[in-house]
Protein backbone atom coordinates (compact mmCIF):
# COMPACT_ATOMS: atom_id res chain seq x y z
CA UNK A 1 0.00 0.00 0.00
CA UNK A 2 1.33 3.40 -0.97
CA UNK A 3 1.52 6.29 1.48
CA UNK A 4 -1.03 9.09 0.92
CA UNK A 5 0.84 12.01 -0.67
CA UNK A 6 1.33 15.32 1.08
CA UNK A 7 -0.29 17.70 -1.40
CA UNK A 8 1.62 20.62 0.10
CA UNK A 9 4.66 19.52 -1.90
CA UNK A 10 2.63 19.01 -5.10
CA UNK A 11 1.87 21.77 -7.64
CA UNK A 12 -1.67 22.68 -8.68
CA UNK A 13 -1.76 22.46 -12.47
CA UNK A 14 -5.42 23.08 -13.25
CA UNK A 15 -9.05 22.20 -12.73
CA UNK A 16 -11.38 19.62 -14.20
CA UNK A 17 -15.18 19.61 -14.22
CA UNK A 18 -16.94 16.23 -14.25
CA UNK A 19 -20.03 15.51 -16.32
CA UNK A 20 -22.07 15.77 -13.09
CA UNK A 21 -20.75 19.29 -12.44
CA UNK A 22 -18.24 18.48 -9.69
CA UNK A 23 -15.07 20.57 -9.93
CA UNK A 24 -11.76 18.89 -9.12
CA UNK A 25 -8.29 20.41 -8.80
CA UNK A 26 -5.42 18.65 -10.54
CA UNK A 27 -2.09 18.42 -8.73
CA UNK A 28 1.25 17.26 -10.14
CA UNK A 29 3.86 15.46 -8.02
CA UNK A 30 7.31 17.02 -7.51
CA UNK A 31 8.89 14.38 -9.80
CA UNK A 32 6.23 15.16 -12.47
CA UNK A 33 5.28 11.47 -12.78
CA UNK A 34 1.89 11.56 -11.03
CA UNK A 35 -1.28 13.63 -11.29
CA UNK A 36 -3.89 13.62 -8.51
CA UNK A 37 -7.57 14.50 -8.88
CA UNK A 38 -8.65 16.25 -5.65
CA UNK A 39 -11.99 17.72 -4.55
CA UNK A 40 -12.56 20.98 -2.63
CA UNK A 41 -12.20 19.10 0.70
CA UNK A 42 -8.75 17.81 -0.37
CA UNK A 43 -10.06 14.26 -0.74
CA UNK A 44 -7.94 12.44 -3.33
CA UNK A 45 -10.11 10.52 -5.81
CA UNK A 46 -7.56 9.37 -8.34
CA UNK A 47 -3.80 9.29 -8.80
CA UNK A 48 -2.53 8.64 -12.32
CA UNK A 49 1.11 7.65 -12.81
CA UNK A 50 3.21 7.97 -15.95
CA UNK A 51 5.28 4.94 -16.91
Q: What is the pLDDT of residues 12-36, one digit of tens each?
A: 999 999 999 999 999 999 999 999 9
| Tally of domains in the chain | 1
Q: Is residue 1 part of a domain?
A: no
Note the pLDDT of residue 14: 97
What is the residue range of 25's domain? Answer: 7-49
CB under 8 Å to 10, separation ≥6 — which residues? 27, 28, 29, 30, 36
Q: Is residue 40 part of a domain?
A: yes
Note the pLDDT of residue 12: 95
Q: Is residue 38 part of a domain?
A: yes
**pTM for the complete prediction?**
0.80
Note the pLDDT of residue 2: 57
Note the pLDDT of residue 5: 74
Amino acid sequence: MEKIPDLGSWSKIGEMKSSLGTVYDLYESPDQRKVAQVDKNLVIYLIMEDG
